[in-house]
Structure 1
Amino acid sequence: MLSKISRITTQKKHKDRYNIFLDDGQGEKYGFSVDEAVLVEYRLRKNMELDDATITALIQKDTLHKSYTLAINFLSYRMRTKKEIHGYLLKKEVDEEHIAKIMDKLSEEGLVNDNEFAQAFVRTRIQTAEKGPMLVKQELMQKGVDNAIASEAVDMYTFDVQFDKAMKLAAKKLRTDNNKSFQKQIQQLQGTLMQKGFSGEVVQAVTAEFRNEKDDDAEWAALVKQGEKLLRKHQPKYSGFELEQKIKEALYRKGFTIELITIFLDEKREE
């Protein structure tokens, strides 16, 4: 059946969309709406005749265009991976067939490229985050980037880049943990750097640097603070040899040397 376009009006809220009114011989009625791009592509105009198949094709074309516009808007905030765009369109209830067409078009236009995304993502992480390459690679793969692409991107984390970032993170952590034994600080530092995704080689190099900077005065001050705290805790229940053993065992577990612990206990015994 043929219908004739009787009127084309601009939507009030969306100036780039148009309402198409049709007359099939039984009076005018609303037919469908299209984006300006579809209107121009199909040269829609008043008195143009459309059959049912063409109308269906126009509606499908417009639906696809609206979904494509959704993807473009989603990309306008920042770069996205293919997986992120696909997931977003699914959430917006876009048909899988249309999603495939949209992804192909975005790729052809250079608007989605997981290689470029990964490179840009790693550059940003290097500049702004206290993270190593293994953690950043994990982030990339969670965003849907292929393992090989992610591995290549994190190659930007050279040893020097990692070492510099890890040293800054280590210095900050050691400043906040200065009430603990030096050995305990080093152990926790190693754990933190590994959790942050730095390579084992870098972790070893950084901790070696700080081992050479051990502050004996700070170590003694930390031991005294921890020892005094333990004395206050255990003195109500223990005394003499039993109290000393409790203190000695607890301080040793905290990473202090037997030599320093003995000196501390000797001084306490003389008070």
Structure 2
Amino acid sequence: MYKPRRAGKAKETERKQPLPLPEVGAVVTGIEAHPKKPHMYRISLKLDPHPEMEADERSKEASTAEPETSDWNDEVDALIAGAQSAKEADETLITVHEDTLVSLRLLKGRRLSVEEVAALVQDEQKEEAYRSALLMLERKARTTAELSQALRRKGYAPEAVSACLERLRAQRMLDDEAFARRYTEQRATGQRKGRMLIRQELLQRGVERQDIDRAIDGLDGEVERESALALARKRWPNTKGNDRERKMKLMGLLMRRGFPSNIVKWAAQQAAEETGEDDSDEGFGDDVLHDSEYMED
């Protein structure tokens, strides 16, 4: 008995994978000012499937073209004023900066080579990466490594990311050494953290060791002592156990917050003495700094 084949169930072997798009030149079919991005322009390109004919066509155009007049300057002025606009159904849009618009003389009808189209695509991605980086830096400060990772997660090519970071460094909008100094000061005073924990956090953020060293060396020792003492005073009343146990727990906390051992011992002793509950320093030495039994908050 004949059974009709089910529609839409073609064999897997019959399916052909789409071929990659060939590298082609293009013709500028329209230009318009970007409605949301200042100094940016959207270029409408119609891909040329026969780039090998480009030289012949250019020679024909050159033989029939009239001498160039000052209309170029007038048209550039009009473009920068946002006056030109054109669209077609089969166009590809590329966004470029006005500097690129002028330097490449991107007028309607301008024929672009394969290399020029590729350069425009790269410039577009570099500009998009740069603008994305500016938005991220407006929200919060970032290190070079953090910004690089964020841009890569957004899908930008390594070349675009590198160009963006270099541009930001040249504009002094990305400076890991300055970031490390601000971070160290803020964490020491605002969050009561010691230099060792701050160093670890900066390393995790991708800051170079030499930048970290300079930031840590610039940390005021008195500020660090006051931060440790303020934290010890806050935690001492709620720490349970006898005096020695309370001191050891408090020292464990201060050690985890990154304070040096000499500041840890001083701050814990000072907090205990201020309450009038400390009777003796017996057993209150370096050994407690390594006693894991009391390394809990």
Please give the TM-score of this superposition, normalised by the length of structure 2: 0.64
Contact kept in structure 2, 1:7 and 1:22, CA below 8 Å: no
Aligned position for 2:267: 206
Over 3 Å counting, the alpha-carbon distance change for 1:119 and 1:2 in structure 2 is: closer
Aligned position for 2:42: 18
Aligned position for 2:113: 51
More helix by share: 1
Contact kept in structure 2, 1:11 and 1:18, CA below 8 Å: yes
Structure 1 CA distance for aligned equivalents of residues 172 and 160 of structure 2 = 18
Aligned position for 2:150: 88
Aligned position for 1:238: none
Aligned position for 1:190: 251
Please give the TM-score of this superposition, normalised by the length of structure 1: 0.70
Contact kept in structure 2, 1:182 and 1:214, CA below 8 Å: no
Identical aligned residues as a percent: 24
Question: What do the CA deviations read for 1:78-104 (whole angstroms, capped 9, x no partner)?
Answer: 322111111112111222222222222
Aligned position for 1:265: none
Contact kept in structure 2, 1:8 and 1:21, CA below 8 Å: no
Amino acid at match of 1:159: G
Structure 2 CA distance for aligned equivalents of residues 139 and 2 of structure 1 = 49
Unaligned stretches of 5+ in structure 2? Answer: 1-23, 51-87, 280-292
SS of equivalent to 1:136: helix
Aligned position for 2:104: 42
Contact kept in structure 2, 1:71 and 1:85, CA below 8 Å: yes
Aligned position for 2:58: none
Structure 2 CA distance for aligned equivalents of residues 4 and 92 of structure 1 = 30
Q: Mapping of 1:153-168 within 5 angstroms?
A: 153-168=215-230
SS of equivalent to 2:31: strand
Structure 1 CA distance for aligned equivalents of residues 195 and 165 of structure 2 = 29
Aligned position for 2:83: none
Structure 2 CA distance for aligned equivalents of residues 207 and 196 of structure 1 = 13
Bigger shift: 31-40 or 15-24?
15-24
Structure 1 CA distance for aligned equivalents of residues 250 and 49 of structure 2 = 81
> Which one of the candidate residues 238, 241, 259 is aligned to 1:180?
241
Unaligned stretches of 5+ in structure 1? Answer: 220-252, 255-271
SS of equivalent to 1:32: strand
The structure, 1 or 2, with the larger RCO (C-alpha pairs under 8 Å, 6+ apart) is 2
Amino acid at match of 1:204: K
The root-mean-square deviation of aligned C-alpha atoms, in Å, is 3.0
